[in-house]
């Protein structure tokens, strides 16, 4: 006689086999449906920057390669939607864009945290965006021109640094205020430059001392002679991970106070987001999963990586959508006191 226990075990095994078979069938059906959906369609990639900007360059390169990795191989077109520091595109993607999986976006990397800072113009919940992935993560630096008599952050506590910025609320101005607050630096911000490049030209001519937020990847690709000839002097860097190539300390390695570390973690969070790609909230989860997988395949593709190399774009540190979402949630869970202080620093630029 077969025991009751054995009967139960056999039944459980049959159930598990049936369930596994159902999952395979369901997954196959889901892939087929996705392929049928995207075949012959057009995906619009909205980028929150003007033509020629590095975000635009990334978006167009991704748009050229991405169709090969989406089932059904839809075409991809890039649509530029600059304005309000990228908020125009972010708000549109969240509140207006179609939620059918045919509209995605690449937005400025700091925008995910504008609601955390208290920016009332940011009309979205960052944790409800369907983050898809980023081709890179960034590190940024505080640099001075080689003729400036400041060799370390300690020197900048007694000798005022005159730093360029495009506007009082711009990223260079924001990080100049952050670094000044955390390290007790003497800083004077000169806003009004038409671009970072214009600020760099003025630095070479002695009109200002430097800049608080150029990307290491941009300096390495656009101004390699500055580094080779030691025309610039990095005082500190910050952002995603550590980079032994940068001849300066990482900001977090210099901060022992827990609250100051938390403030820096929040401030540099946008750099970890890199060049974030997202889909609006409400898109079918199956399509979100498909788009995330397509991007991760793209980020490893030899042809894509070769184009990155030729365009001098940093594509070496991609991150997936699920990791990005977890990171956003972690930053929003930062200590309230740190959030209040970084928000106050941020709002200084919005009030001018």
> Per-domain residue ranges for the chain?
41-136+274-333, 139-270
The Cα–Cα gap between 236 and 246 comes to 9
pLDDT (average), residues 102-117: 94
Give the pLDDT of residue 10. 52
What is the bridge-based pairing of β-strands 139-145 and 232-239?
antiparallel
Report the candidate in 306, 295, 273, 348 with the shortest Cα–Cα distance to residue 113: 273
22 is written with which tokens? 């159902």
Please state, in angstroms and rounded to a whole number, the distance separating the CA atoms of residues 144 and 111: 27
Q: Cα(291)–Cα(285) distance, rounded to whole angstroms?
A: 10
Residue 33: pLDDT band (50, 70, 90) is low
The chain-wide mean pLDDT, for the chain, equals: 89
Confidence label for 32 from pLDDT (cuts 50, 70 and 90): low
CATH topology of domain 41-136+274-333: D-Maltodextrin-Binding Protein; domain 2 (3.40.190)
Q: Band of the pLDDT at 19, cuts 50, 70, 90?
A: very low
- pTM value is 0.84
Q: In angstroms, how far is CA 277 from the centroid of its own chain?
A: 8
Reply yes or no on whether the pLDDT at 185 is more than 80: yes
pLDDT mean over 247-276: 96
Calculate mean pLDDT across residues 74-103.
Answer: 95
Domains 41-136+274-333 and 139-270 share a fold: yes
CB 239 within 8 A of CB 271: yes
pLDDT at position 16 over 60: no
Domain 139-270 top-level CATH class: alpha beta
**Tokens standing for 222?**
């656009």
Local confidence band at 203 (pLDDT 50, 70, 90 cut-offs): very high
Residue 18 has pLDDT above 70, yes or no: no
């Amino acid at each position: 006689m077969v025991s009751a226990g054995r009967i139960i075990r056999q039944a459980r095994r049959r159930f598990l086999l049936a369930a596994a078979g159902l999952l395979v069938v369901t997954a196959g059906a889901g892939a087929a449906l996705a392929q049928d959906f995207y075949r012959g369609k057009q995906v619009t990639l909205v980028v929150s920057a003007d033509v020629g900007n590095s975000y635009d360059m990334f978006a167009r390169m991704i748009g050229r390669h991405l169709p090969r990795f989406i089932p059904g191989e839809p075409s991809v077109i890039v649509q530029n939607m600059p304005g309000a520091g990228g908020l125009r595109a972010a708000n549109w993607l969240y509140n207006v864009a179609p939620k059918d999986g045919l509209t995605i976006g690449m937005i400025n990397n700091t925008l995910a945290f504008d609601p955390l800072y208290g920016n009332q113009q940011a009309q979205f919940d960052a944790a409800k965006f369907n983050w898809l992935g980023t081709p890179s993560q960034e590190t940024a630096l505080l640099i001075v021109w080689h003729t400036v008599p400041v060799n370390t952050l300690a020197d900048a506590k007694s000798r005022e640094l005159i730093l360029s910025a495009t506007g009082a609320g711009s990223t260079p101005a924001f990080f100049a205020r952050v670094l000044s607050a955390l390290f007790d630096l003497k800083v004077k911000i000169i806003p009004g430059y038409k671009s970072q490049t214009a600020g760099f030209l003025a630095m070479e001519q002695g009109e200002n001392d430097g800049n608080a937020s150029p990307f290491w990847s941009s300096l390495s690709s656009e101004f390699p002679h500055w580094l080779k000839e030691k025309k610039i002097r990095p005082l500190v860097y910050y952002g995603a991970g550590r980079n032994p190539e940068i001849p300066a300390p990482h900001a977090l390695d210099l901060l022992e106070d827990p609250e100051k570390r938390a403030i820096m973690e929040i401030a540099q969070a946008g750099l970890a987001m890199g060049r974030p790609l997202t889909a609006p909230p409400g898109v079918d989860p199956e399509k979100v999963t498909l788009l995330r997988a397509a991007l991760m395949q793209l980020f490893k593709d030899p042809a894509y990586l070769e184009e990155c190399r030729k365009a001098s774009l940093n594509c070496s540190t991609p991150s997936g959508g699920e990791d990005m979402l977890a990171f956003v949630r972690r930053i929003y869970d930062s200590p309230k006191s740190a959030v209040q202080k970084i928000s106050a620093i941020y709002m200084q630029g919005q009030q001018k």
